[in-house]
Amino acid sequence: MGTEKEFPLKGYSLPMSPQGKSAVIDPPPWHYGGDVLHLTFRADEKKMRGLVPPPLEAGPNPGEGVVWFTEWVSASEDRPDLSFVNPERSQYKECIVMVSCQFRGVPGYYVPYIWVDNDFTLVRGLFQGFPKKLGNIYMTRLHDMTPRVGGKKPGAKVKGICVSHAERIVEGSMVFRRKAEPSEAPPVKFYLRRHFPGIEDITRPDIHEITSSRVVDPKVADVWVGDGDVKFYGSEFEEVADLGPVEVTGAFYFGLGITIIGGEILHRYK
Amino acid sequence: MGTEKEFPLKGYSLPMSPQGKSAVIDPPPWHYGGDVLHLTFRADEKKMRGLVPPPLEAGPNPGEGVVWFTEWVSASEDRPDLSFVNPERSQYKECIVMVSCQFRGVPGYYVPYIWVDNDFTLVRGLFQGFPKKLGNIYMTRLHDMTPRVGGKKPGAKVKGICVSHAERIVEGSMVFRRKAEPSEAPPVKFYLRRHFPGIEDITRPDIHEITSSRVVDPKVADVWVGDGDVKFYGSEFEEVADLGPVEVTGAFYFGLGITIIGGEILHRYK
Amino acid sequence: MGTEKEFPLKGYSLPMSPQGKSAVIDPPPWHYGGDVLHLTFRADEKKMRGLVPPPLEAGPNPGEGVVWFTEWVSASEDRPDLSFVNPERSQYKECIVMVSCQFRGVPGYYVPYIWVDNDFTLVRGLFQGFPKKLGNIYMTRLHDMTPRVGGKKPGAKVKGICVSHAERIVEGSMVFRRKAEPSEAPPVKFYLRRHFPGIEDITRPDIHEITSSRVVDPKVADVWVGDGDVKFYGSEFEEVADLGPVEVTGAFYFGLGITIIGGEILHRYK
Amino acid sequence: MGTEKEFPLKGYSLPMSPQGKSAVIDPPPWHYGGDVLHLTFRADEKKMRGLVPPPLEAGPNPGEGVVWFTEWVSASEDRPDLSFVNPERSQYKECIVMVSCQFRGVPGYYVPYIWVDNDFTLVRGLFQGFPKKLGNIYMTRLHDMTPRVGGKKPGAKVKGICVSHAERIVEGSMVFRRKAEPSEAPPVKFYLRRHFPGIEDITRPDIHEITSSRVVDPKVADVWVGDGDVKFYGSEFEEVADLGPVEVTGAFYFGLGITIIGGEILHRYK
């Protein structure tokens, strides 16, 4: 949307255009439904704290983190049939690394690293404070109909692999043990850093804030619990492996549906 | 596999290697499970006949064809956990164009055109007689958890798009009307042309055969019937749009599981 | 860079990290060298004006536009050997649509639409005001050594194709007529719109400015002049074809080297 | 081409079609022009011999191998302007691993492993005996116009990276030392294994031959000599790293133009 009445171009985001169809992303609410491989881990406490920007504080379980591999079908409130008009505009996969933190006593996870595989989600993420880069995300799919392999069941195995700039960065996997209740799926609250660098004075960002996503109506279904593994790989361009060895403490796989209606600014850096 | 006892390299296909891990594809049996968007159409009868190589004959319903958009999870009997070891080696999408035909009174479909999105399936297809080229295949996914959109239900809409060499080639779509019985899913028998051109005398192929896939244990589930649409787009490198306008006569969406144990040679061109 | 002394994470952009290696893009200066297919065209004057946001004004030749297809090797001042460390981080192609405009009497081009094929350039563009989306950009390469085809010479032909979200969007081509002087290559000054939408109040952007790139040391070499063509294709998600038919008025192909040291804010929308 | 007069479909390869435009590859002659990073290495002699299928014999320098990273512009004799009609159909990159061998006293290189990044070259390679798989190939480009980096000169550095099925497989690099004469570029003669597995009896290939490419009119230009490096990475699906550590013995970068007019069958396995 333009900010002045007479402004001739429309869109929540660039590129704006006469009819507003060109914008890379529609305004919220944004709807998401997908499958999540959720792996909890522990790493060196000091290094994990070092990834959390103040005034966020270390979480109730400092040293704890989460890796998500997810495959989403998303849509905007404005164009709910996006997935039909063009499937490419509505599907993406992502790999998220999270670090336990809290703000004014409310625990959650800060997201230092995240990779996605399409532009609309990359830009939508930047607007919220998700530090997205492009990656190729691969996730095992379990299809009921594949002979000899089949679908979700005890013993089933899934893996997620994240490759970015021709390097393997993250790998996570899980062996299904048992079906679980929706209440067993660990909740996730995202703390983010919204940042847009300066262009005249490149030492002073134009936007630099701690934010939190406004998520409504989360729904969880088809939860499985199992045994997990996480690996971070060394890289010329990523520092996630500098966390050192990690110990996996939990593994979950579930369906998730959420709607994000915007974000909340918790702190503005001066 | 090598053909001589002393042969030091292993593999059903190139590249062969000391341990046999490098081959782009394992030997059959090959297992497939996936979701199929099945659209039946009628086109100009003469043009459709022109795509069927003798001794295959026009089918019982000359002028009838089928478009498939499918998303597969496949595995080989030798490496059933391929989808776990590396998801990338087990998932692919394809768009198939089929023309009604018959051989010695047994009706089926000849496959003049097919696009897939990975190497192992391209080569596995060539070995059987599927004339595969690479394409980007996009298919609507319906996820139960996506708010406002949701999963399979009457009124749900899915689309498949096939892009190859930077051109949109095929588009197919369906609006779900009702759930159906597995027996309503139309069966498909593939007639293929296996061909490997000569390299010394390029006017004489080294292999040129009509074949048929040996499919066992087909299983169908979660069948939906609806209203469909098919479009073929003009191209510098494809002739499918030369079929002219098509009339869509049926639309189905279903889960399919099959195992291919090899192929049968029905005719050898001299 | 962080904005507070004690800030533990480094980087000109997200994702920031302890060592500052993870940021998707380094700070300027940014260096670019590449080949440019530059096509000038005329389209409906009113529609072209409609793409230029005030206070930018229609240019001295209203209705005039430019399409660029470029293939870049870029590097940052901080990591000049990026192209060696990881070629993937330094190469990209882009397709730019420009509309003649002026600001306070200084003519240039406003960029309503642009597609690129990698993340670092997409984000670097957003920071400056280039409304980048991802696309697949294909450009003819003329290699001196290819028998029967060869390199640049009178009669040589090049084409650029831009595909985004599975749709062909722009096509441009040129037949080389003659070698030209560097001074014949048309200069380009970019006017941009920098925009970052609000996340608490989604109707009010946090950044909304007219900017201009600060380009230094432009160098042009190996200029060719020829006869060109431009096509815009209809799309579900792009409006460039709404410009209607275009008349191509010039075609150039040249080597270009530039350094961008940041941007200048010309106007802030309230 | 069909083998019978009345055969209604045209094409050197599948998919054949009424006009013959659909075939994934035209018949030879095939023209190639490109840039080659040529790295020679020595590895464990026994392991290198183990990659050479009899009746090919170990070469005059057993244990010697070559890695090529190349970026090609190719065209067929039938469609010389392919690179203009659709740049995507004429450009590809490849990574080739070669092992020194000889046949009846004529030395050359056997190709156990090769990765390419498009379908037409993959299939064209299979027809000749190149055991091609898909990979993402990245190669440093040196562009004269990039400030601070520039083009080919003493001290310039180039790298090639080959990624396949989400794994980094091969990396090769070179630091340019000096310009050299065309005669210093090492010649390469390819020995290949042509193989097409059986589909009725999967233990007996329908084609299994040792072949050699028929290359005419090779031209070399702009040769540079330097210092090189080669790394093979461990993989779930590749065995090239089983060669163990390699010692790089030479590094060259040059322009190459060739025409392949077909192949010669040297041996047929029974």
> For D22-50, what is each residue's pLDDT tens digit?
999 999 999 999 999 999 999 999 999 99
pLDDT class of C71 with cuts at 50, 70, 90: very high
> What is the rounded average pLDDT of the residues B85-111?
98
Given phi > 0 = left and psi -120 to 50 = alpha, else beta, which region is B185?
A: beta
Contacts of D73 in chain C (CB under 8 A): 141-143, 146, 149
- DSSP 8-state symbol, C13: S
Instruction: Tell if the CB–CB gap between B166 and C166 is shorter than 8 Å.
Output: no
Question: CA triplet A249, A252, A255: central angle to 5 degrees?
Answer: 160
pLDDT of residue D4: 46
On whether the CB atoms of residues C225 and C252 are closer than 8 A, the answer is yes
pLDDT score for D1: 38
Residue A142 near residue A151 (C-beta atoms within 8 A) = yes
How far, in Å, CA of A137 to CA of A232, rounded?
A: 14
d(CA A228, CA A170): 13
Over the stretch B121-166, which tens digit does the pLDDT of each residue have? 999 999 999 999 999 999 999 999 999 999 999 999 999 999 999 9
Which one, of D143, D204, D134, D198, lies nearest residue D164 by Cα?
A: D134
% of chain C residues with pLDDT over 70:
98
- Chain-centroid distance of CA A45 in Å reads 22
CA distance A214 to chain C (A): 9
Q: For residues C113 and C243, what is the distance between their CA atoms, to the nearest angstrom?
A: 12
Q: Which residues sit opposite D224 in a β-bridge?
A: D179, D253
Q: Residue A6 has what pLDDT?
A: 60
Beta bridge partners of D93: D71
Residue of D nearest to C217 (CA): D147
| Mean pLDDT, rounded, of chain B | 96
Residue of B nearest to D201 (CA): B262
User: C121-168: per-residue pLDDT in tens?
Assistant: 999 999 999 999 999 999 999 999 999 999 999 999 999 999 999 999
Residue C205: both structure tokens together: 């952007």
CB contact under 8 A, A139 and B87: yes
The encoded tokens of residue A255 equal 């369906």
% of chain B exceeding 70 in pLDDT: 98
Q: Which residues contact D34 (CB under 8 A, 6 or more apart)?
A: C143, C145, C146, D70, D71, D72, D73, D74, D255, D256
Compute the average pLDDT of residues B173-182: 98
Compute the nearest-CA separation of A163 from chain D (Å): 6
pTM for the predicted model, two decimal places: 0.97
Looking at the predicted structure, is the pLDDT value of residue D260 above 70? yes
Selecting from A75, A146, A256 the residue whose C-beta is nearest the C-beta of B148 gives: A75
Cβ neighbours of D129 in B, within 8 Å: 14, 199
- Cβ C30 vs Cβ C124: under 8 Å: yes
Contact C112, C97 (CB under 8 A): yes
pLDDT band at B41 (very low <50, low <70, confident <90, very high): very high
- Does C98 have pLDDT greater than 70? yes
Predicted confidence band at D2 (pLDDT cuts at 50, 70, 90)? very low
Give me the long-range contacts of C122-125 (CB less than 8 A, separation at least 24): C122/A119, C122/A122, C122/A123, C123/A122, C123/A126, C123/C13, C123/C24, C123/C25, C124/C25, C124/C30
Cβ-defined contact of C163 to B163 (cutoff 8 Å) = yes
Q: Would you tell me how many other CB atoms lie within 10 Å of the CB of residue C268?
A: 11
pLDDT at B153: 98
pLDDT of residue B6: 60
Instruction: Band the pLDDT of C6: cuts 50, 70, 90.
Output: low
DSSP-derived secondary structure letter, B60: S
Separation of alpha carbons B21 and D133, rounded Å: 13
Determine contact, residues C91/C117, Cβ cutoff 8 Å.
no
Largest CA distance in chain A: 63
Average pLDDT over residues D258-268: 97
Say if residues A130 and A70 touch (Cβ distance below 8 Å): no
Phi-psi region of D176 (alpha: psi -120 to 50; beta: other; left: phi over 0): beta
Question: Cα separation of D165 and D163, whole Å?
Answer: 7
Buried-state track C198-218, b at ≥16 Cβ within 10 A, e below 16: bbeebeebbbbbbbbbbbeee
pLDDT exceeds cutoff 70 at B5: no
Question: CB of C123 within 8 A of CB of C24?
Answer: yes
ipTM of the complex: 0.95
Selecting from D161, D166, D168 the residue whose C-beta is nearest the C-beta of A136 gives: D166
On average, the pLDDT of chain D sits at 96
Q: How many CA atoms lie within 13 A of D258 on its CB side?
A: 20
Instruction: Give the mean pLDDT of B213-218.
Output: 95
Half-sphere exposure of C221 (CA within 13 A, CB side): 10
CA-CA distances (angstroms) from residue C193 to A194, B88, C43, C196?
20, 40, 22, 10
What is the Cα–Cα distance from B168 to B232, expressed in whole angstroms? 8
CA distance D94 to D116: 4
Name the region of C252 (left: φ>0; alpha: ψ -120 to 50; beta: rest).
beta
How far is C223 from chain A, CA to nearest CA, in Å? Answer: 31
Q: Are residues D108 and B10 in contact, defined by beta-carbon separation less than 8 angstroms? A: no
Query: Please, are residues A57 and A102 in contact by the beta-carbon 8 Å criterion?
Result: yes
User: Is C146 in Cβ contact with D73 (below 8 Å)?
Assistant: yes
Q: What is the reported pLDDT for C103?
A: 98
pLDDT at A2 over 70: no
Q: What is the pLDDT of residues A43-88, one digit of tens each?
A: 999 999 999 999 999 999 999 999 999 999 999 999 999 999 999 9
The CA distance from D265 to the nearest CA of chain A, in Å, is: 38
Q: What whole-number distance in Å separates Cα of residue D79 and Cα of residue D33? A: 15
Q: Helix or strand or coil: residue D157? A: strand
Q: Which pLDDT value is given to residue D7?
A: 72
Using one digit for the tens of pLDDT, what is the confidence trace for C243-265? 999 999 999 999 999 999 999 99
Tell me whether residue D203 is exposed, middle or buried, using C-beta atoms within 10 angstroms of its C-beta: 0 to 12, 13 to 18, 19 or more: exposed
Query: Which residues on D lie below 8 Å from C77 (Cβ)?
Result: 148
Per-residue pLDDT reduced to its tens digit, A184-202: 999 999 999 999 999 999 9
A119-128 and C119-128 helices, crossing angle to 10°:
50
Mean pLDDT, range D135-162, rounded to an integer:
97
